[in-house]
Structure 1
Amino acid sequence: MRFTHTCATAAAAAVLTLTGTATAFGAASPAASSDATFLQTIHQANLAEIAAGKDARTHAKSACVKQVADIIVRDHTALDAKGAALAKTKGIAMAKEPTAAQQQQLRDLKPKDGTTAYDTAWLKDQSAGHQQALALIDKELTSGTDSQIQAAAKAARPIVAGHLKMVEGGVCHGPTASASPSPQR
């Protein structure tokens, strides 16, 4: 089964951890388990999105994909900085890199560098992953217990939804399709 997106692995890890069928991040943190897992999972997804966006800026063929990649890098960098700062205040350990599966997904695009096939695969990955990320955010909003982490999820939701609009269905709709504002600094 082909892995569809960087966020999808993060979401899957969170679901497995939240359901108790796997331990994705090791020891429990001071924050509620599902809240901590959410922050950790979103952090790794952000790292993966930043890496995928930087890769697309270099290897995508279309200007539209490159523009969307720029927005994704900008937004996920800002979101990740806020999430990492929040995690630090809560004593939640954060990974230093995307998961192995997320890294492999990016490597899987390499043979397609500079082609329309790269753009198509990248967009499909982004579309599927942003759908998964929204589901993960929505789960945190409905079942999370830490009000600060829930507030971070609520703030991230329109940004992730805006990214989805730009790549929905694996088609580049460009930055004008985005409803996401820049994350506030």
Structure 2
Amino acid sequence: MRMRHQLATAVAVLAVSGAAISPALATSPRTSSADDTFLRTAHRNNLAEIATAKDAGKNATTSCVKRVAKVLVRDHMKMDDEVKKLADKLRASLPGSPTDEQKKQLAALRAKAHTKAYDAAWLKAQAAGHEKTLDLIDHELKYGHDEKVRHLAKKLRPTVVMHLGLVHGGTCHDSHNDHKAAAGNGS
């Protein structure tokens, strides 16, 4: 009986001291729910933006859309590298692909490939997507707890604002044109 009591006491001491912490607990995310949601959603949005922008590079009909798509690929790859690096540092898990809805949107776009309707649909989807991403960033800045995640959101915001300016209103706006080019006008 005395031996069982000593063994139970030893187990309790180890548990209280932290020596018996399981590896699963030691690697759990240290981010808040809002911070974790931001990282996961930002990553998924980046994956979707990269895929749709690469697709536009192949399937758009206007040079303006192709130029904007090239900018989006470059910038979203850089932004996603930063999201992944921070998520890894914070041990936050990230999804492996865009959402099913984002995949459906890309499939619907591809059905219009090499038409003016493709360009118009792509621009409209980009405007809506970047508005949602801006809302996500602003939500993180207001409600996020982790200073590193909030700093990243603040750092990414100007790029997303710039992207929104390139596709605002479903119209292609790029620095290579002195005028605003509507989708499908051949500019």
User: TM tier, shorter chain?
Assistant: 0.7 to 0.9
Equivalent AA in structure 2 for residue 107 of structure 1: A
Question: Residue in 2 aligned with 1:70?
Answer: 70
Matches within 5 A, 1:163-182: 163-175=163-175
Instruction: Please state how far the C-alpha of 1:176 moved relative to its aligned partner.
Output: 5.5
Distance change (3 Å), C-alpha of 1:165 and 1:176: farther
Identity of aligned residues (%): 45
1:138-176 residue CA offsets vs partner (Å, 9 max, x unmatched): 010011110000010001000000000000000001145
Q: Mapping of 1:80-159 within 5 angstroms?
A: 80-159=80-159
Note the alpha carbon deviations across 1:41-77, whole angstroms, 9 max, x for none.
0000000000000000000000000000000000000
Give the structure 1 partner of residue 47 of structure 2. Answer: 47
For the residue of structure 2 that corresponds to 1:112, the secondary structure is coil
Question: What TM-score do the two structures reach when normalised by structure 1?
Answer: 0.79
Measured at CA, do residues 130 and 176 of structure 1 come closer, stay the same or move farther in structure 2, by a change above 3 Å? farther
Deviation at 1:111, TM superposition (A): 1.7
Whether contact under 8 Å (1:43, 1:80) holds in the other structure is: yes
Output the CA distance in 1 between the equivalents of 2:85 and 2:123. 30
Output the CA distance in 1 between the equivalents of 2:58 and 2:172: 16
Superposed CA deviations along residues 98-122 of structure 1, whole A, max 9, x for unmatched, are: 1111111100112210011000000
1-side partners of 2:51 and 2:136: how far apart? 20
* RMSD, aligned α-carbons: 1.2
2:58 corresponds in structure 1 to 58
User: What is the one-letter code of the residue matched to 1:140?
Assistant: E
- Between Structure 1 and Structure 2, how many residues are aligned? 150
* Residue 37 of structure 1 pairs with residue 37 of structure 2: yes
* Aligned equivalents of 1:176, 1:139: Cα separation in 2: 33
| Deviations 1:2-40, CA, capped at 9 Å, x for gaps | xxxxxxxxxxxxxxxxxxxxxxxxxx8321111011000
Residue type at the aligned position of 1:127: A
Q: Which runs of 5+ in 2 are unaligned?
A: 1-27, 178-187
Point out 4+ residue stretches in structure 1 off by more than 3 angstroms.
none
Amino acid at match of 1:83: V
Based on CA coordinates, which of the two structures has the bigger radius of gyration?
2
Residue of structure 1 in register with 2:182 after alignment: none
The one-letter code matched in structure 1 to 2:31 is A
Q: Which one-letter code corresponds to 1:143 in the other structure? A: Y
Change (3 A) 1:146 1:131: same
Contact 1:68–1:175 (8 Å) recurs in 2: no
Distance in 2 between the 1:175 and 1:80 partners? 24
Q: 1:162 is aligned with what amino acid?
A: M
